[in-house]
A and B are shown apart, each in its own frame.
Chain A
Amino acid sequence: MSSVNINFIRSTLIMLAIGALILLGIVGSSVWLVSQNSIYSEQVAQMRRVRSGSADLLSVLQDAETGQRGYLLAAEDSFLQPYEAALARLPERIAYLDKNVKGLPAFESRVPELEKLIADKTTELKRTVDLTTAGKVTEALAIVRNSSGRLMMDQIRVILRSFLEQADSTLSVTVREQLDAANSLKWVTIGGAVAIVIVLIGATLVIAQHVRDLSRIREEVELLNQGLEERVNERTEDLMRANQEIQKFAYIVTHDLRAPLVNIMGFTSELTTTLKAINAYVLADEKVPTEDVIREARLAAKEDLPEAIDFIRSSTKKMDSLINAILKISRDGRRTLVPERIDLKAMLEATADSVHHQINDAGGKVDISVAIQSLTTDRFSLEQIFGNLFDNAVKYRSLDRPLELAVRAVKDSRNSVRIEVTDNGRGIAPEDRERVFELFRRAGHQNQPGEGIGLAHVRSLIRNLGGDITVESNIGAGSTFVLRLPSDLAKIVRS
């Protein structure tokens, strides 16, 4: 049970650790990817600003040039307005681009060249406009015609275009990288989620297994508890029964031993009385005994004396036989049981053979049917039990019909067998069915010799084997002795 717990704790902890690691990984990579993403976003924004700055600058410069051209052509102040507006916006545009290309060497390196070109171009624009305002249109046009302004503008355009292209290509790379990063974040999250789900499933399985183990163990414990209670009850009943038997036994023994003792003491006193009558005659000395004294003395010597002695002798014998019977039962009870596998059918047949001629002479028969797989018990006890039961069947058979003795052995439950010994004898009255198993007690007409020991002995033997015997009977029709025995005595002895 503790190993189950340790396993459970270990695997749950491992699951927890794995789950925590995966979570940490997901959080870490998410944080990293998000910060990466914000860097990309910043880059993208800067690149966009560079791009728009470049585009704006170009358009402002073109506005200025267009305004200059218009003014030069028309020499009207209204054309000068866009030109001046463009020039006014120019420094702001340059500063904006300047600010945004900081940290981008590919752009920054070309900024001084660009600024110089813009300054030159602005100077060229201003000169032409100033010349035009001063009325020297031809001079202004000559400056334009020498196309240095156009060249400058072309160079500016090339630089800004390259800015735009570079910004575009950088943007597309950065966006792709950003997309990749977002993708990675997605996959990491999905992977982490899958891993967590797997860990969760694993943990659930482990917990479910543990719960199953626990409930199985609890069931086992409950079963054991129940069994234990039953066993304790059984043992307690056995103990109470044994205790009652001991008390009954002690009671019977003391009272049955007391009966001959009453005789011995009684007739000893009678002897003393008889002695007085004899003494009166024998010790009469010179006096002539009277008729009465002579008659009394003769009666005493002839009848009372032998009677008293006979009773004392028979009572002593009775006591001796009682003590021997008790000794026999006690000796058999103390005998070490030797469990061995018994061929019940063969044993029953052998035992039946010993009463064979008594049954056959009267035309009787014995029927043995054994339907049990195996029986392991003490051979000597079992032989004694069946010997006694068969002897009784012969002794107490009904005199007006031939004896039919049937033995049937069947399986009673998983661990016990039931053997029925049925006769068609004279039967046992209901009030005597318990009494016949008591020591020195007999039932029915006392037309057979016996001391009332056989069945008491049988019951004590079979209880020693862990079984019991009861009797069912129809008075005048026969009796069935029902024996219940554990099918394996060795198991009982071990437990």
Chain B
Amino acid sequence: MNTLAPVLEALTVLIAEDSAADLLLLSTIVRRQGHQVLTARNGQEAVEVFTRERPQLVLMDALMPVMDGFEAARQIKQLAGEALVPIIFLTSLRESEALAQCLDAGGDDFLAKPYNQIILAAKINAMDRLRRLQATVLQQRDLIARHNDYLLHEQRVAKAVFDKVAHSGCINAAPNIRYVQSPYALFNGDLLLAAYTPSGDMHVLLGDFTGHGLPAAVGAMPLAEVFYGMTAKGYGLAQTLREMNAKLKRILPVDMFCCATLLCLSAQRRVVEVWNGGMPDGYVHDVATGRRTPLVSRHLPLGVLAAEAFDDRTEVWPMALGDRVFLLSDGVLDTADAYEQLFGAERLQQVFAANREPDRLFEDIERALAGFRGEVRDDISMVEITLLAGQPLRSQGALYSDSGQLSPLDWSVSFEFRAESLKRYNPLPYLLQLLLEIHGLREQSGALYSVMAELYSNALEHGVLGLDSRLKRNAQGFADYYRLRNERLAQLDSGHVRVHVHVLPTAAGGCLTLRIEDSGPGFDVEKVLARPLDVDRLSGRGLSLVRQLSSDVRWSDGGRSVCVEFSWEALA
């Protein structure tokens, strides 16, 4: 063992040298340094030995018979491929041109004759370090490539699942929704969901998760499940928001959350109800006046606050048929130019002001973004929903194929909801589920839910809370109405709404009688019903809707009690 230059690891060294004396001398030196030695007498043999034994380092004489060292070096380098097999030329040549030729042929270093043991050992060690470095680099490169493949595969799978979740519902089927989502927006955590409620209202969610790729997709699943599930069951925005917030708070790490705007558009009631937590302003576009009312973020994003602190208060805005709601992600406003200036809300307003054709708004915005930046960012989402009349009241889910024999047909149930319940509990989804046990009613579930929802909110708002629907005659009054509603509900400490359900079998099928009573002062039924139905009026929609959808509506007890009937024929 050479003590001057300690060997890290014994190498297999090939020595190619045509002079027997030099070969013996070199072999002895290299063996003494602790390495294994293979020998060759010319370039041809060197290539053969290399092919067979794969030595880790080569000492190569430059001038040899049959095949010289230069050609052998070229062939060995080619055989070695990506791995570094250092070749040190042994040469008595002195001219710089000849020495350069050694390196040009693929040599890594040269050693002049006569041999100096210490220099040789140091050079072998130095070359070994290089060889190891190269091996490590290759190994790490392959590892990174493997990890990258793996990651890309996972992302593809996650994106496929995410796309399915984010695009179920009615987002593509509804005639009144237009949206653009750049391909990466989806996987950058932007989420767009839409679904119909049992009464034909539409819920829309535009969300933006912190984080990208997998983490965002992981959060999107439960959010979408809650959204679709609760919307289909008839839950309102407040309950749905509470559930989404609680679920995200429970499963997401502290630094992850979801900015979101949730809308409920009702063509029947001509309103949009909005909750915005952390998204840029959306807009309600009053097409007749051109006015755009901003839908401002009033809340922390979903998944930040604990359930007790969560604020589910919504805002309600009137809409006429043909009016539009526009929502966007922060990718639009945060598009930056070359000087890191952001596009911002003011420039968006300018695009609004310049827009002549409402249907080309998205294109106008995209053009403005492209002009501002030179290219449009790859993570923008925009959605626009138009309020259209006559969304069909479709029945929810598949009808059972049995004849309805198993469904209960002769029963009654009564509920009394008192102040504390009225404040925060919405009994409608529960009641609807109960009534859908009657298979014959399922086809009418939309109408049933709409009627029940109208009568319940009349009993609560006009009865228990004493609100006058005439407040809603203009936009300001409309806002006042919903502000008063929230205030009075928060302070409520007495009063009740009772719901009585009677189900009776009939010769043809069955009949449901639904009676709703409230503790309010009642109202002059004849006077209210005599008011003309004005299509542009913001108030009074509820009652005309109820009268359209149910066969018989009767008030009693001075307007404090209302009764409707639904009947059905036995399924064939």
Answer yes or no: are A and B bound together in one complex: no
Give A contacts to B, CB under 8 Å. none
Give B contacts to A, CB under 8 Å. none
